Structure 1
């Protein structure tokens, strides 16, 4: 029986809110200065690496043993992944194409709808649902997941592959010119999530305060030495280790469960909510200081949450109707 790590939802909540804060600041011209606004908030873009670790860890929790033991077929596995992410993303893509029709948006929309755009040289060049590059990367990871499970089947192999993935990362960074949207560039973060899964039982026995101290130390190092690969790896891993070692209310509560449960939908739709708020002048109603920035972040988060919930509910009802209709048609054919 797989174990549910509720604190992972807390990390998804932190990462999701942080990325929204970063994008609101990046796409606005508020007259705010200081270390927090100029350095800390822009660094929240690196929460995507934490999302990568969480994705690998979560997938291992759900499918690692099933995949290696053959208790789930590849058709079933890929079908579940496709059904989980495609309907919501497809609606966003179609809305974007309809709002800004052009030959370019049609091509980019086609690429998005196939979910295969993560194989492009630079998925971040796609403007239609621009933040969707991360979903493209995640889908590539899903495709590779059976092989991923084999790679981390035992500790020695996992550490060897992890070391090679770090070499690949620097090759991508300094020779091949690949970005974080490339699976080889980001493989070390996915593998780190998988390795934390392998050692989860030992990590669960950690003292939560020791794990919290690791997070604090890693954060200090991250900001002192700069946002490099090692700092991102250590900090993201420290966050996940803390979540595995502590299942207390700080990260595991109703709020984090709610936000964590729709974190991917919030991530994909928050820029849609921001553009709408911008058109309604809500992003400048209170001036251009901290009050307006905080208000804008709240408006975007709430707007994206409402949009996500309404769309999810609508898609669920549509799916149920299609399923019922399909059963009726099949029954008529059988008679």
Structure 2
């Protein structure tokens, strides 16, 4: 527990990465599900759609965080796996279950009941096609929880730096052959989603682990050259934007891996908080970023039902307004939901204690 708290306290710049990733993905989903025909240009046609790639940054941060908290303890055979999985379930399942129940109540669909009950098990990442309709963006949880289940194997793969580099190279090879061979219609359905599988996403989790292994070297390098490190960091952003200007919205995963690896390295390597990445807003939004990610379509659908999507026409003004409404709505929804869940938990504990007294 102490190592987890220290890691989170030390790497506060990650709050900004997590926050901007979450907001970027929400912005992308709103654009995909609307028709702002009056908005045009590079921002709408190229930049915002590219923000879908930020889900890989989420994965890399998850990989890094798990290595911070448990890598050494797994190597030393000092992990209580009952506590480990209880912690994972208790952190994720209450809010996720709340969304699943809400989805089932709204849709009243038998198929959603089946899918929802499957998702509550948290092992749906093992399905051949992890592409369920209930909490549609929940596929990410399926991949991440499968990573948690296999984390001891990832520790084995990264037992030392040499083996970690070799594992990363193999994972990149598997990513490429999955995308171009195994995940084609020769083996799977036409609408199969590559990134809904751990095998395809493994390079990003491994990169997070590799950055952890080199965290001391990264911190030493960056703080010795604090004045100059911001320059290559800005270059990576320009590199990303240049690829988009070339209309390459489907960055190959190697480019994405290098890009997000540089961002995460910068975030964890600087001992000084970056005011853009670390402030009260990013600290707050980072804590609820997973909940925002999972609940985004519920709030968007509510805005759609009250006919506010095109309140100022079909241009950028309406788009930005809907984005702000979605973010504010998510904050209110999450706070209310967490309050309800806390009350429910207290009531269950009260009933349990009263039965024990009898």
Range into which the TM-score falls when normalised by the shorter chain: over 0.9
1:259-278 to 2 correspondence within 5 Å?
A: 259-278=285-304
* Secondary structure at the counterpart of residue 131 of structure 1: helix
Aligned to 2:190: none
Q: CA deviation at 1:150?
A: 2.0
Give the Cα–Cα distance (whole angstroms) in 2 for the partners of residues 92 and 167 of structure 1.
36
Give the Cα–Cα distance (whole angstroms) in 2 for the partners of residues 194 and 331 of structure 1.
48
Aligned to 1:96: 103
Aligned to 2:260: 236
Q: CA deviation at 1:118?
A: 0.8
Q: Compare 242-251 and 183-192 and name the one that shifted more.
A: 242-251
8 Å contact kept, 2:46–2:247: no
Q: CA deviation at 1:321?
A: 3.0
Aligned to 1:144: 150
1:133-169 CA-partner distances (Å, limit 9, x unpaired): 1111111111111221222121011011111101110
Q: CA deviation at 1:310?
A: 1.4
Give the Cα–Cα distance (whole angstroms) in 1 for the partners of residues 180 and 101 of structure 2.
36
Q: Supply the RMSD in Å over aligned alpha carbons.
A: 1.6
Aligned to 1:216: 237
8 Å contact kept, 1:30–1:288: yes
Q: CA deviation at 1:306?
A: 1.1
Give the Cα–Cα distance (whole angstroms) in 1 for the partners of residues 63 and 321 of structure 2.
33
1:74-131 CA-partner distances (Å, limit 9, x unpaired): 111011001110110011011111111222212211221111111112212x111111
Give the Cα–Cα distance (whole angstroms) in 2 for the partners of residues 110 and 171 of structure 1.
33
Aligned to 1:157: 163
Give the Cα–Cα distance (whole angstroms) in 2 for the partners of residues 303 and 330 of structure 1.
40
Q: CA deviation at 1:236?
A: 1.3
Q: CA deviation at 1:221?
A: 5.3
Aligned to 2:348: 322
For structure 1, list consecutive stretches of 5 or more residues without a partner in the other structure: none
Aligned to 1:195: 210
8 Å contact kept, 1:218–1:234: no
Give the Cα–Cα distance (whole angstroms) in 2 for the partners of residues 321 and 214 of structure 1.
53
8 Å contact kept, 1:64–1:149: yes
Q: CA deviation at 1:6?
A: 0.8
For structure 2, list consecutive stretches of 5 or more residues without a partner in the other structure: 184-192
Partner of residue 130 from structure 1, selected from 119, 125, 136? 136
1:245-264 CA-partner distances (Å, limit 9, x unpaired): 23322201110000011000
Count of aligned pairs? 331
Aligned to 2:35: 29
Partner of residue 318 from structure 2, selected from 292, 300, 316? 292
Give the Cα–Cα distance (whole angstroms) in 1 for the partners of residues 69 and 263 of structure 2.
20
* Secondary structure at the counterpart of residue 194 of structure 2: coil
* Secondary structure at the counterpart of residue 284 of structure 1: coil
1:8-59 CA-partner distances (Å, limit 9, x unpaired): 1100111000001001100000121100110000000000000000111111
Q: CA deviation at 1:304?
A: 1.1
Aligned to 1:114: 121
8 Å contact kept, 1:218–1:231: no
Distance 1:128 1:212, change over 3 A: same
8 Å contact kept, 1:19–1:47: yes
* Secondary structure at the counterpart of residue 123 of structure 1: coil
